Structure 1
């Protein structure tokens, strides 16, 4: 990729706008911050902005935002071009421009763009635009928090997003919680599935801002341990110390993965890449008592990876355990995420006997319904505490899995923390002079 970038720099005056925008997008997707390439493209693209189409404008602003490479002339020229092409912008292009400006910290420019674009977005965003809704809603929330505060277009958009998308899904998630256990779990999951399906909102995640709100409202945030439902059988480290350990452990695991894959370039000490299923890591700790204290399950802390396939996921735990923590059916698949892998392991350990045998999950002469009753009777008596850190905000499917865990185990306090992997590398800066910059 380095050689290709240098060749494009040499031929920059011969490149079409489409070539420049696609190349910048590709660098961003790979997390490659080639300084000479980005600077050269910025100069030429700013000069020829009137030749860029709507997709090219969206791609190049998004790419420079992801790579945290600010060029005032480029941004000004591309925003002027976006305004000229306003009627041609798609929902994804509007979202990409907003996300790029948000990532670059261009709050004033973001607010001006949103003031013109939010109404357009609502008019064209339809089924299948769930990720664009979530990304744009989070960009709007950031813009409102910045200098200038709320503004009419943002207020109307936030209200629409909250009432049409966020609240219906959060309502279903809340009905999976212990306090709402009266509604059958299968019925709630089916409602959630319909809400998040491609024919519904197609919302895959809430994004950073609204996931924080969701965790707090679902009692899955740190507060579950501070004045929460139960005390832990053993003491955890203070939350700040535990969170630091979780991030450090995941950072070291990511470095080891990159070195094993041979992808750690010289000078690339962070190995940051845009978040993907394979690259997201989780760290979990738990201390749980089952059987009235006759069995104690403890995990001081460990990194969990995504499963590489559904076969690998299903091979770890029994059908009984899998059925307790059901994911949503979405594309791409949501059943392989590391936070679900951690909870599957915990539930498997809770349902084994003291000799490590399947125990309650073993059917024997019992029917499936009788096994389910036995399993849930055992889980409801387990008590303790579970902490999970995830390097990227969890998807709605994984929030549902966490709510199912809390429903089955109302005496266990679950606390979840996460980072936004588009902004940070396990709590560290994604880029610096020594991290992730390809030499120019």
Structure 2
């Protein structure tokens, strides 16, 4: 539950002259992550934050943890800042070995949400997953977030996808969010079966019941619009335009 008055007061304090200018890179990343967690978008504050994060001295001070939190927070808020994402990717390439499984999942999910294309960084993260001992540290949500992101990227990295699918099988019953993502991943694998022989073989070991369960979860779950989508919808409604936020096509799942 968000205390609107408290968050407004916090925003007002952060917007005071000099406050963000004196903040360390770690603190800036934490602020972005916090607002992303709350899905509380203040365009003025976020504009100041992203401008500060683009400054060379701040970028150079960002560690892997901070990079993943900034990407995740900005994606949650629906902010489109390709220049910042490109700068964060360049910084991330310098410290690939420092990313945790959660950090990898946060970045790939965030990039997929925003439609960010940073292939060198993404490939570097995937290599890190396979050889850096990261794979076994993925949580259920982390592995399905990563699989979903690769499906969005239309990835055909067969070895990586197969390893992530195998990791997903190691967990107990998956929750609705994970099942919904898994359904979309299975669709991607089905559409690219010829290019994903190893992944296809791994998926077959999942068994049909799990695939059916994932499909049922996906088709029965209400969608949750992003902060950006809600903001656009509110503006259109304010203009007197009727907005239909989702259309369900049964044949597409």
Q: Same fold, TM exceeding 0.5?
A: yes
**2:11 aligns with one of 2, 5, 16:** 5
Q: 1:219 to 1:89 in 2, by over 3 A?
A: closer
State the shift of 1:196 in Å. 2.3
**1:156 aligns with one of 159, 170, 173:** 159
- Normalized per residue, which structure has more helix? 2
Q: 1:50 to 1:86 in 2, by over 3 A?
A: same
1:132 aligns with 2:142: yes
State the shift of 1:132 in Å. 1.3
1:34 aligns with 2:42: yes
- Preserved CA contact (<8 Å) 2:129 2:135: yes
Once the two structures are superposed, residues 190-209 of structure 1 have per-residue CA deviations (whole angstroms, 9 ceiling, x without a partner) of xxxxx425xxxx96553534
Structure 1: stretches of 5+ with no match in the other structure: 145-149, 169-194, 223-389, 394-415, 436-440
C-alpha distance in 2 between matches for 1:4 and 1:99? 28
- Preserved CA contact (<8 Å) 1:138 1:208: no
User: Larger Rg: 1 or 2?
Assistant: 1
State the shift of 1:220 in Å. 7.7
| Length-normalised TM-score, structure 1 | 0.41
Structure 2: stretches of 5+ with no match in the other structure: 1-6, 187-207, 236-253
1:430 aligns with 2:233: no
1:23 aligns with 2:26: no
Q: 1:211 to 1:433 in 2, by over 3 A?
A: closer
1:418 aligns with 2:221: yes
Once the two structures are superposed, residues 55-99 of structure 1 have per-residue CA deviations (whole angstroms, 9 ceiling, x without a partner) of 111000111111110112211211111111111111111111111
C-alpha distance in 1 between matches for 2:179 and 2:226? 14
Once the two structures are superposed, residues 232-261 of structure 1 have per-residue CA deviations (whole angstroms, 9 ceiling, x without a partner) of xxxxxxxxxxxxxxxxxxxxxxxxxxxxxx
- Normalized per residue, which structure has more strand? 1
**2:183 aligns with one of 211, 231, 236:** 211
1:117 aligns with 2:125: yes
Number of aligned positions between the proteins: 200
C-alpha distance in 2 between matches for 1:33 and 1:91? 27
| Length-normalised TM-score, structure 2 | 0.69
Q: 1:77 to 1:6 in 2, by over 3 A?
A: farther
Q: Which residue of 1 aligns with 2:239?
A: none
- Preserved CA contact (<8 Å) 2:109 2:146: yes
C-alpha distance in 1 between matches for 2:142 and 2:50? 25
Q: Secondary structure at the match of 2:153?
A: helix
Q: Secondary structure at the match of 2:31?
A: helix
1:77 aligns with 2:115: no
- Preserved CA contact (<8 Å) 2:90 2:121: no
C-alpha distance in 1 between matches for 2:11 and 2:81? 18
- Give the root-mean-square deviation of aligned CA atoms: 2.9
Structure with the bigger RCO (C-alpha within 8 Å, sep 6+) is 1
State the shift of 1:133 in Å. 1.1
